Amino acid sequence: MPSRPQTPQRRVSPRHFLMCPPTFFDVTYAINPWMDPRVPVDRDRAHAQWSHLVAAYERAGHRVDLLEPVPGLPDLVFAANGATVVDGRTLLARFATPQRAAEAAVHRAWHERSGVLYGGRGLAEPVAVNEAEGDFAVLGSVVLAGHGFRTSVAAHAELAALTGREVVSLELVDPRFYHLDVALGVLDAAADQVAYFPGAFSAAAQAVLAERFPDAVLADAEDAFAFGLNLVGDGRHVFMPTGAPHLRDALEARGYVPVEIDTSELVLGGGSVKCCTQEIRPTPSTPGATSE
């Protein structure tokens, strides 16, 4: 019998996502190197691309809740930046730039209303600047946390105190990778599986990543510049943008099922798949036990 490479069985774990339609998406200011207000945005196309992502999540069995879009908040489509929910505990965002500051209240209102439905265990008002899942990657054993451009190191400690999780700080050094989630993607949170682009990190952060994740998938510059790492993994599927062929092939070789979505319009704002996706991680349920 011909020998086949051993790939592990990959299983979907159902997720709960919060997303915001790009109804008012636009590039009217530049707060990251990808944004250029002179380049027009095709909002219908952005909406079609975003809808494909929602449909792909739902086909895979994930739940998608919607945040109401707000005129004048063109970046609200990047819902990952609004809050971080770990075990039902929610740390709201405090944005680094004045252009996005008003988004925090929109997220707060949603979580205040919906927390009870997702098993929320309270909202924490942030003290230090944090752009939520843009810079926090929640794994099974630790939370990886970016700093250098948006989220401050002090916010890493806030998340650690709130969740009781170890939070590992990683310094980002290239302004094109201004959030952790454009430099590192979580393939399988429970199994601590990640992919990343070393060039986005300081030498010290690269050493930490190499030591903690010796079997990580390393993306090359082409993958990374195509926002390939701005992905969402559910343990089996990896929802990712088109245009990162090496990464896609490397994931396939590891037994993942890449689901590629064209996000070319959203990329004009400096974001892709993960940026559009906030994950609601409820209180872990103990089999056989009643909830607290």
Catalytic positions: 179, 275
Query: How far, CA to CA in Å, does 243 sit from each of 36, 145, 209, 279?
Result: 21, 26, 25, 24
- Select the residue interacting with ligand ARG from 17, 20, 21, 81 (CB under 6 A): 81
271 Cβ contact partners less than 8 Å away, ≥ 6 residues apart: 75, 77, 78, 80, 182, 227, 230, 263
| Residue 177 in the binding site for ligand ARG (CB under 6 A) | no
Q: Which is nearer to ligand ARG, 10 or 167 (CB)?
A: 167
Query: How far, CA to CA in Å, does 91 sit from each of 12, 116, 122?
Result: 26, 15, 9
| Residue 46 in the binding site for ligand ARG (CB under 6 A) | no
Query: How far, CA to CA in Å, does 281 sit from each of 115, 128, 268, 270, 285?
Result: 11, 22, 29, 25, 11
| Residue 75 in the binding site for ligand ARG (CB under 6 A) | yes
Q: Which is nearer to ligand ARG, 31 or 104 (CB)?
A: 31
Stretch that binds ligand ARG, among 13-21, 52-60, 189-197, 267-275 (CB under 6 A): 267-275
The CB-of-96 to ligand ARG minimum distance in angstroms stands at 8
Q: How many Å is the maximal CA-CA distance in the chain?
A: 63
| Residue 32 in the binding site for ligand ARG (CB under 6 A) | yes
| Residue 82 in the binding site for ligand ARG (CB under 6 A) | no
CB 64 within 8 A of CB 232: no
- Select the residue interacting with ligand ARG from 270, 278, 280, 281 (CB under 6 A): 270
Stretch that binds ligand ARG, among 62-70, 141-149, 246-254, 270-278 (CB under 6 A): 270-278
Contact mark string toward ligand ARG, 127..146, x via CB under 6 A = -------x------------
Backbone angles phi, psi at 185, to 5 degrees: -120, 145
Six-digit token string for 135: 């810079």
187 Cβ contact partners less than 8 Å away, ≥ 6 residues apart: 193, 194, 195, 217, 231, 233, 238, 251, 254, 256
- The separation between the first and the last C-alpha atoms of the chain, rounded to the nearest angstrom, is 53
Stretch that binds ligand ARG, among 73-81, 198-206, 242-250, 278-286 (CB under 6 A): 73-81
CB 272 within 8 A of CB 76: no
- Using CB under 6 A as the binding rule, the residues of this chain from 90 to 129 that contact ligand ARG are 100
Q: Which is nearer to ligand ARG, 18 or 254 (CB)?
A: 18
- Select the residue interacting with ligand ARG from 181, 188, 223, 234 (CB under 6 A): 181
| Residue 80 in the binding site for ligand ARG (CB under 6 A) | yes
Q: Which is nearer to ligand ARG, 119 or 148 (CB)?
A: 148
Contacts to ligand ARG by CB under 6 A: 31-32, 35, 75, 78, 80-81, 100, 134, 179, 181-182, 269-271, 275
